[in-house]
A = this chain, B = another copy of it.
Amino acid sequence: MIAGIELGGTKTVVAIGTAKGAILEQCRFPTEAPAETLAYAVDWLRERGTPASIGIGAFGPVGIVPGRENYGSILETTKAGWSRFSLIEPLSTAFPQCKLVLETDVNAAAFGEAKIGVAAGLDDVAYITIGTGIGAGILSGGRLTHGALHSEFGHLKVPRAPGDDFAGVCPFHQDCLEGLASGPAMAARWGRPAHELPNDHPAWEMEAWYLAHGILCLVAIVSPSRVIVGGGVSQAAGFHDRINQILGKIAAGYFPPVLVPHYVVPPALGQDAGISGALLLTAAGL
């Protein structure tokens, strides 16, 4: 039995499926205290059998580089109770023979889209999610990118959109990309949540402006062949087209082998990108 777990900040998904990313059965439930959340996933899996391997996509900061001291644990976080909680321990205790493969939630989603989604077959792919926060998963040369920690994409700084004097909502940096363009930033700036803003509201042009500048950083640093933008705050009609237009303008013809038409696209797997990616991770020789 092949299993996947997508551990998000607010909801968790556990599934059984195939190592090719097909979901046979899945269950979504709220992310509660750490031990309870993992126990719930373990019980759900036990009722269905004994997994030979589990792919896990987890919110961060999380130690994802095998061999490092912090491997398998949530690192210091403001999310109550989760700091230094080991995700690997309860799973390997419950299923001692099971192979566990751990990644960030956004890396899992990038992997899903790069294997069976909108970027199928590409080796260089970035997946951005815009919701409560802004994160990015990166596949580079066919491998998921780690580094000393992992991408914390939302916390880089971009120029201010012309005329924008909103202070920003990031508790650490105020006006980093996440502080200016996450779901909470949209809600605070415009007085209502993103999903209530009509498609022709100026909010979307500004949102696309900030995302295009963040994506320009990705283009200039890891040079993806395609960038996928998903998450709750990416659903407005025409949003990806707006990003492509602004990105083309600010790139100013400089990246011709990289920037292609429809460079920024929505995910093909929708909200299943993360859990499908988690299933696919079980077959990856990472």
Binding site for B on A (CB under 8 A): 61, 70, 75-76, 124, 136, 138, 140-141, 143, 145-160, 172-173, 213, 216-225, 250, 252-258
Contacts and interface: CB of A to CB of B under 8 A. Distances in A.
B221 A146 contact: no
Contacts of A76: 256
| Copies of this chain, count | 2
A173 B254 contact: yes
A264 B53 CA distance: 40
A244 to B, nearest CB: 16
A136 B221 contact: yes
A223 B257 contact: no
Contacts of A75: 257
Contacts of A141: 143, 145-147
A59 to B, nearest CB: 15
B216 A156 contact: yes
Dominant SS at the A interface?
Answer: loop
Contacts of A147: 124, 140-141, 222-225, 258
A136 B221 CA distance: 8
A124 B140 contact: no
B155 A157 contact: no
Given A143-B141, A173-B252, A222-B222, A258 B157 contact: no
Given A160-B159, A172-B252, A220 B151 contact: yes
Contacts of A173: 250, 252, 254
Given A148-B257, A149-B255, A157-B213, 6 more contacts: A147-B222, A147-B258, A148-B223, A151-B222, A154-B220, A155-B216
A222 B145 contact: yes
Nearest first, the 8 A-B pairs at minimum CB distance are A147-B223, A156-B220, A148-B225, A172-B254, A148-B258, A124-B147, A156-B217, A217-B217
